[in-house]
Amino acid sequence: MRTEDIFALGLGLAQPWKLLNQRLDTEKIPHELHLEIGADRGTGYPCPRCGKTCKAHDFQDFTWRHLNFFQHHCYLTGRVPRIECPEHGIRRVEVPWARPGSNFTLLFEQVVMTLAREMPVATIADFVGTTDKRLWRVINHYVAEAMQRLDISGLEAFGLDETACKRGHRYVTIFIDLDREERPVIFVTEGKGKETVRRFRDHLLVKGGQPERVLEVVSDMSGSFVAAVGEHFPKAEVTVDWFHVVQLFTKAVEEVRKAEARERALPKGTRWGVLKGRETAKTQTQAEALQELEGEAFATGIAYRIKEQLRWIRRAETGQAAKWRATNFLNYAREQIGCEPLLSPMAKALRSFEKHLDRILFRWRSWHTNARLEGLNGLFQAARARARGYRNVANFITMIYLIAAPLGDLFVM
């Protein structure tokens, strides 16, 4: 077999294309291998619309970055004609080794997509010796195509949560299908609050779904989400995720601790001790801090004890038992808080808890697991790391899809 044939095989070249020439440019570091592709003079080419073989009208030179050949960067160059089809006029011929408009070969793009699932895009760019901006274009293309193919028309239950893009103030809201065990993300949009719920409803309609079929929505306690769900998904019951209940009280305890620390010295280890709780306290110091907090009249200790009562509610086996425990919890907590100004963040958390109690208790009737949204947090972190230096929100959204959406085969032609 001749070298030309081996290269042609590796590139998937088919009639009328063939390898015309190869040349190693040793002046460049790393060296560049250039493969020149073309066809015989007078060859006919298929019209990209109808496939009819037509004569070339004119030619233009194109270059595509291909997979490295050992340590050498490899480029394909080719004169690609426009044909003149009697029916469709003058059109650029499509080549079998690259997508129209791309500066990379399909094989190169496949490798990029495989790597993008495993490592930061900036790292891939260094590795293959190109810019991350160019790689993002490729990744955005394949992910968008796959999301286009995704069927969500049967959606009956979804969860939503928001997360910050970077350290700034830009947010994205993520929607997950609660009936998908793996890769549950079906829609991500910039922003937060009720506008995002409307956008998701519109998206669902475009994808052939029916908002009236949605019977359950899991969200946090933000009033704007709850109201927007009621407006756009009329049959849906809103469940407040237990994870968000814990988060609400954890934040309140932290506020109490900060305020109290400004007034008096707290036991060493308090911060992480109250965060982790007695069952998971990691160090001796943390455990001792909890003991000391409970022994003396620290506001932080009271706040912590209130938060810990949530575990007792969660362990309830029926909705009725949970309701009874929640009522007891509210009374107990109010009594503990009294009029202590340091504990006002706890009082505020309690008001939210009471206001959303029905939605919180709905989890005992729900057939969807409530651990889903909690799992999303790890995912956001992974997406942020993978998209390091991702330049814009669109890239961040693409990375979330790539990691957690049911994309299926990315290379469907």
Residues near Zn ion, by CB under 5 A: 47, 49-50, 85, 87-88
Pairing of the two strands 216-219 and 157-164: parallel
Distance CA 283, CA 303 (A): 21
Taking the complex as a whole, how short is the minimal distance between the CB of residue 18 and Zn ion, in angstroms?
24
Please, what is the Cα angle at 354 between 350 and 357, to 5 degrees? 130
Nearer to Zn ion, 47 or 226 (CB): 47
Distance CA 365, CA 355 (A): 19
CB 117 within 8 A of CB 107: no
Taking the complex as a whole, how short is the minimal distance between the CB of residue 55 and Zn ion, in angstroms?
12
Taking the complex as a whole, how short is the minimal distance between the CB of residue 54 and Zn ion, in angstroms?
7
Nearer to Zn ion, 27 or 87 (CB): 87
- Measured CA to CA in angstroms, residue 228 lies from 14, 169, 200, 231, 353 at distances of 55, 22, 11, 5, 19
CB-closest chain residue to Zn ion: 47
CB 139 within 8 A of CB 196: no
CB 347 within 8 A of CB 253: no
CB 108 within 8 A of CB 65: yes
Nearer to Zn ion, 95 or 379 (CB): 95
Peptide bond into 16 cis (omega under 30): yes
Task: Give the DSSP per-residue string, 232-298.
Answer: H-TTPEEEE-HHHHHHHHHHHHHHHHHHHHHHSPPPTTHHHHHHH-GGG--SHHHHHHHHHHHHTT-
Taking the complex as a whole, how short is the minimal distance between the CB of residue 38 and Zn ion, in angstroms?
22
Nearer to Zn ion, 46 or 211 (CB): 46
Residues 6+ apart with CB under 8 A from 74: 32, 33, 34, 35, 65, 66, 67, 68
Taking the complex as a whole, how short is the minimal distance between the CB of residue 94 and Zn ion, in angstroms?
12
Taking the complex as a whole, how short is the minimal distance between the CB of residue 36 and Zn ion, in angstroms?
28
Taking the complex as a whole, how short is the minimal distance between the CB of residue 57 and Zn ion, in angstroms?
12
Taking the complex as a whole, how short is the minimal distance between the CB of residue 188 and Zn ion, in angstroms?
39
Distance CA 157, CA 162 (A): 17
Nearer to Zn ion, 47 or 147 (CB): 47
Nearer to Zn ion, 52 or 271 (CB): 52
Distance CA 400, CA 387 (A): 9
**Nearest-10 Cα torsion for 310, 316, 318, 319:** -10
Taking the complex as a whole, how short is the minimal distance between the CB of residue 65 and Zn ion, in angstroms?
30
Nearer to Zn ion, 88 or 207 (CB): 88
Nearer to Zn ion, 54 or 322 (CB): 54
Taking the complex as a whole, how short is the minimal distance between the CB of residue 106 and Zn ion, in angstroms?
23
CB 332 within 8 A of CB 309: yes
**β-bridge partners, 175:** 160, 187
Nearer to Zn ion, 100 or 154 (CB): 100
Nearer to Zn ion, 46 or 406 (CB): 46
Taking the complex as a whole, how short is the minimal distance between the CB of residue 95 and Zn ion, in angstroms?
17
Nearer to Zn ion, 31 or 52 (CB): 52
Nearest to 20 by CA among 46, 38, 40: 38
Distance CA 230, CA 194 (A): 10
